[in-house]
C-alpha cells in the first residue's frame, strides 16, 4: 500500500494532521495501536485554547463542540482561605473552550470514517523503516493478523509519549530534557452538576485540587497525591472528603457530590525532545513533548505542532518548497518551551512540594497573591492560559 503521509497514532495530533492534509488534497493513512472504542473512551484533559476551537471550526468539525462545549471567560484560583477570579476575557479579549479531548477524538474519527478514509485500528508490532531515505515505511500486523506495509513520502510520528517513533531516531541525534515532579494527580469523573461555572485551581495546605467539568451533568475533579500512591487506598468517601477540604474556602459553598464513574492516578512530568524531525519522520504532540496538566496545554501544544507541520507539508506538495519542513523543529520549539515554562510555573505555584520549607511556602503564597492581585500579574497568567499568539 502507498500513501503520501503515513501517520502513526490516532490521538488529537494524528487525527488533526490527517484532517488538515485531507482538506489540502494530501492523502494519508493512520495506523493506531488501540481500538476505536478505547481511544474514544480514554479520558484526558478538556481545555482548548481560543485558536484551537477556531481551528476545529476551520477544518469543518466544530459543530458539536459549539453545541456541547462550554465557553469560559474566566477561571478562579483559591489560596489562603480566599478565591480570586482571573477574568480571561477582560484581560486578553479571549475565552477558552471546555470540551473533552475524547469528544474531539470522536468527532474526528467519525468524520474520517464517513469520508471513507483509512484508519487501521488495533495495529500490532508497529515499526517504521527507512526514515533517512526517500521512501519511509510503516510496518504492522493488522487486526486480522495479516502483515502490512505502507510506503510513504513522509511519516507523522503522532504516537504519544510511549510510542515507537521517537525511539526510532538514532539516540545520538536526540536531545531530551526532562523533569519529573514529586506528586501526581488523582482524577475523577463524577455524575454531578459542576459546583461552579468556572474552573477552580486550589492551593491548599493539604495539597493542590482542581474543579473542572465536562458538561452540565459531569464534574471532573483532581487531587494532588504522592506519585507512588495506590488508587485502592482512595475509596470515594475519602476522595470527596479531601476535595471538600481543599476546594471549600468560604461559607456554605460545597462541592456537589455524585457517583464516581471513573478514577485514576496520573504521574506528572515535563519533557521536550529537541529533535522533532529526522529524515522524513516528523514528531508532533506528546511524542515530542509532555507538560504537567496544570496549565492545560497538552492538546493545545499538539495542535500547534500539527498546524505548522500540515502547513509545511502543504507547501511542499503545492510548490515543492521544503523550507517549512526544514525549519519545522526551529519553528515549533519557541512555543513549546513557553508552554513548558508556563505549565512548570503553574505547577510549582499551585502544588505543595514535599521538600519545600516554610520560607518556600510563604513565597508561594506571595506569588499567588501577586499573580491574582495585580493586573499585570493576572494578564501574564491569562495570556498564557488562553494561548500565546503565533509568531
Ligand atoms: N503504534 C500505533 N499507535 C500508537 C503506538 C504505536 N506503537 N503507540 C501509541 N499509539 C497511539 C496511542 O494509542 C494514541 O491513540 O498513538 C496515540 C497518541 O495519542 P496521544 O497520546 O493522545 O497523543 P497526541 O495525539 O500527541 O495528543 C496529545 O494527548 O496525552 C494527551 O494531554 C495530552 O492533550 C495531549 C494530547
Ligand atoms: C480537565 O478538565 O481535565 C482539566 C482542566 C484544566 C487543567 C487540567 C485538566 O489544567
Domain with CATH 3.50.50.60 in the chain: 5-72+95-178+270-345
Q: What is the CATH number of domain 5-72+95-178+270-345?
A: 3.50.50.60
SS3 of the chain: CECCEEEECCCHHHHHHHHHHHHCCCCEEEECCCCHHHHHHCCCCCEECHHHHHHHHHCCCCHHHHHHCEEECCEEEEECCEEEEECHHHHHCCCEEECCHHHHHHHHHHHHHHCCCCEECCCEEEEEECCCCCCCEEEEECCCCCEEEEECCEEEECCCCCCCCHHHCCHHHCCEEEEEEEEEEEEEEEECCCCCCCCEEECCCCCCEEEEEEECCEEEEEEEECCCCCHHHCCHHHHHHHHHHHHCCCCCCCCCCCCEEEEEEEEEEEEEECCCEECCEEECHHHCEECCHHHCCHHHHHHHHHHHHHHHHHHHHHHCCCHHHHCHHHHHHHHHHHHHHHHHHHHHHHCCCCCCCHHHHHHHHHHHHHHHHCHHHHHHHHHHHHCCCCC
Q: Tell me what pLDDT residue 391 has.
A: 67
Report the residue among 101, 222, 345 best suited for mutation to probe ligand 2: largest number of ligand atoms under 8 A from its CB. Answer: 222
**Considering only CA atoms, which residue is closest to atom 4 of ligand 2?**
45
Q: How far is the CA of 247 from the centre of ligand 1 (A)?
A: 31
- Give the pLDDT score at 4: 98
Residues of the chain with CATH 3.30.9.10: 181-268+352-386
Q: Is the CB of 310 under 6 A from ligand 2?
A: no
Q: How far is CA 66 from the centre of its chain?
A: 19
Q: Does domain 181-268+352-386 have CATH number 3.10.129.10?
A: no
- Closest ligand to C-alpha of residue 209 is 2
pLDDT score for 110: 98
Give residue 330 CA to ligand 2 midpoint distance, Å: 28
* CB of residue 214 inside a 6 A radius of ligand 2: no
The answer, yes or no, to whether any atom of ligand 2 lies below 6 A from the CB of 293, is: yes
Of all residues in the chain, the percent with pLDDT exceeding 90 is 96
pLDDT score at 219 = 96
Local mean pLDDT, 10-residue blocks, the chain (391 residues)? 98 98 98 98 92 98 97 97 96 97 97 98 98 97 98 98 97 96 97 96 97 95 97 98 91 91 96 97 98 96 98 98 98 98 98 94 97 98 95 67
Q: Pick the residue whose CA is nearest to atom 19 on ligand 1.
A: 11
Ligand 1, CB cutoff 6 Å, lining residues: 8-14, 31-34, 39, 44-45, 101, 123, 126, 158-160, 163-164, 285-286, 298-299, 302
Tell me the catalytic residues: 72, 201, 293, 297, 385
Residue 80: the pLDDT is 95
Query: What is the predicted pLDDT for the residue at 204?
Result: 96
Quick one: pLDDT at residue 43? 87
6, 9, 166: residue to mutate for ligand 1 pocket, most atoms within 8 A of CB: 9
Cβ contact 210:46 at 8 Å: no
Nearest ligand 2 atom to the CA of 44 is 3
Nearest CA to ligand 2 atom 9: 45
Q: Is the CB of 347 under 6 A from ligand 2?
A: no
Index of the ligand 1 atom closest to the CA of residue 287: 26
Amino acid at each position: 500500500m502507498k500513501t503520501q503521509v503515513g501517520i502513526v497514532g490516532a490521538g488529537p495530533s494524528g487525527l488533526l494532521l490527517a484532517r488538515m492534509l485531507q482538506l489540502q488534497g494530501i492523502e494519508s493513512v493512520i495506523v493506531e495501536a488501540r481500538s476505536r472504542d478505547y481511544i474514544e473512551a480514554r479520558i484526558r484533559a478538556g481545555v482548548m485554547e481560543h485558536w484551537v476551537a477556531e481551528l476545529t471550526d476551520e477544518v469543518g468539525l466544530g459543530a458539536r463542540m459549539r453545541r456541547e462545549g462550554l465557553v469560559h471567560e474566566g477561571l478562579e484560583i483559591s489560596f489562603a482561605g480566599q478565591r480570586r477570579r482571573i477574568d480571561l476575557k477582560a484581560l486578553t479579549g479571549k475565552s477558552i473552550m471546555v470540551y473533552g479531548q475524547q469528544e474531539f477524538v470522536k468527532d474526528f474519527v467519525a468524520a474520517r470514517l464517513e469520508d471513507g478514509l483509512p484508519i487501521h485500528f488495533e495495529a500490532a508490532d508497529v515499526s517504521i523503516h527507512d526514515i533517512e531515505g526517500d521512501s519511509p515505511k510503516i510496518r504492522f500486523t493488522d487486526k486480522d493478523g495479516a502483515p502490512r506495509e505502507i510506503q510513504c513520502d513522509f511519516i507523522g510520528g503522532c504516537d504519544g509519549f510511549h510510542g515507537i517513533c521517537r525511539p526510532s531516531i538514532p539516540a545520538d541525534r536526540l536531545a531530551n530534557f526532562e523533569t519529573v515532579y514529586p506528586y501526581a494527580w488523582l482524577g475523577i469523573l463524577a455524575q454531578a452538576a459542576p459546583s461552579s461555572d468556572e474552573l477552580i485551581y486550589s492551593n491548599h495546605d493539604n495539597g493542590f485540587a482542581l474543579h473542572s467539568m465536562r458538561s452540565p451533568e459531569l464534574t471532573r475533579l483532581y487531587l494532588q497525591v504522592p506519585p507512588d500512591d495506590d488508587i485502592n487506598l482512595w475509596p470515594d468517601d475519602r476522595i470527596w472528603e479531601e476535595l471538600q477540604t481543599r476546594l471549600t474556602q468560604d461559607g456554605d459553598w460545597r462541592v456537589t457530590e455524585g457517583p464516581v464513574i471513573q478514577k485514576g492516578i496520573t504521574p506528572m512530568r515535563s519533557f521536550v525532545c529537541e529533535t522533532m524531525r529526522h529524515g522524513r519522520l516528523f514528531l508532533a504532540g506528546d511524542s515530542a513533548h509532555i507538560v504537567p496538566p496544570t496549565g492545560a496545554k497538552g492538546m493545545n501544544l499538539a495542535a500547534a505542532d500539527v498546524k505548522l507541520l500540515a502547513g509545511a507539508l502543504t507547501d511542499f506538495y503545492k510548490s515543492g518548497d521544503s523550507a517549512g519542513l526544514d525549519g519545522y523543529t526551529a519553528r515549533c520549539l519557541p512555543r513549546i518551551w513557553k508552554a513548558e515554562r508556563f505549565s512548570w510555573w503553574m505547577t510549582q505555584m499551585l502544588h505543595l512540594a514535599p521538600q519545600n520549607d516554610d520560607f518556600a511556602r510563604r513565597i508561594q503564597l506571595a506569588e499567588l497573591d501577586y499573580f491574582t492581585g495585580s493586573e499585570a500579574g493576572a494578564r501574564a497568567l491569562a495570556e498564557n492560559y488562553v494561548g500565546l499568539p503565533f509568531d
